[in-house]
Structure 1
Amino acid sequence: METARALANAQDNIEDITAYRAALRLNWRLWTIFQSDVAGAENPLPDDIKQNILNLSVFIDKHTVDALASPEGRKLKVLIDINRNIAGGLMTNPAGAAETPPTSSQAPSDDSNGG
């Protein structure tokens, strides 16, 4: 969310080209970290999700280069929306996930005594 906020501030103050470029570089760094993490063999995500994140990262790379080459506030909106949607998704529980961990009375019993 910090990165999306920096991009939004840059979009609102497009005349401050230093802040504009700094926000883009911060976002680019964040997505480079995502790329590196997802590309690692030890990453537990399913392959299709890894590929989707990598594809999105390639888009971010190309869009960032374009935004740096030709500064325009509207070019930041796409990046802001992507970041906010990703952050929002990470902050929600998947459908069917428990809101709280099970208590001891909810935990499965050990039926090793045969009944």
Structure 2
Amino acid sequence: MHQHGAVAYQTTAKAVETPREREAALLMKSAAGMQSLRDNWPDDVQVLKSALTFNRKLWTIFMTSVTREDNALPAIARQNIANLGIFILNETREILLDPVAPQRLDPLININRQLAAGLRGN
């Protein structure tokens, strides 16, 4: 019975979730995955690649969205998000080329958490 209630809650939560809340949740999911990797640095680079690929796809979507002409965000906010996205894509590439330093994930984790907090109005 408990499992059924959880499924019903998730279905309802998704129905009332705003796009901003969804974006914040995805950013937090990505940050949590990268934090876990940072805390338990993997021997298998594929694990790292998977988490970084998820984050890269997420940021590619954000960048595509903010560069569309019909995006309602102010131009400065759109430019800031695009610049962050470029930084994240570049950092991701560098980490994958030389995956030896777990602390290199810190800026990616922090940016995701801060943007998620901003989307949630914190």
Q: TM-score, normalised by structure 2?
A: 0.72
Does residue 37 of the first structure (1) align with residue 53 of the second (2)? no
- SS at the partner of 2:121? coil
1:2-81 mapped onto 2 (5 Å cutoff): 2-14=29-41, 15-71=43-99, 72-81=101-110
Whole-angstrom CA distance in 2 between matches of 1:11 and 1:18? 14
Cα offsets for 1:10-69 (capped at 9, x unmatched): 112222322211111111001000000001111001111111111111111111100111
Whole-angstrom CA distance in 2 between matches of 1:26 and 1:11? 15
Instruction: Give 1 or 2: higher helix fraction.
Output: 2
Which ranges of 4 or more aligned residues in structure 1 deviate by more than 3 Å? none
Whole-angstrom CA distance in 1 between matches of 2:102 and 2:46? 13
Alignment gaps of 5+ in structure 2: 1-27
Figure out how many residues of one structure are paired with residues of the other and give that number: 93
Whole-angstrom CA distance in 2 between matches of 1:82 and 1:90? 12
Whole-angstrom CA distance in 1 between matches of 2:121 and 2:48? 30
Whole-angstrom CA distance in 1 between matches of 2:117 and 2:108? 14
Q: TM-score, normalised by structure 1?
A: 0.76
Structure with more contact order per residue of length (Cα contacts < 8 Å, sep ≥ 6): 2
Alignment gaps of 5+ in structure 1: 94-115
The structure with the largest alpha-carbon Rg is 1
Partner AA of 1:12 in structure 2: D
Partner AA of 1:23 in structure 2: A
The percentage of counterpart residues that share the same residue type is 40
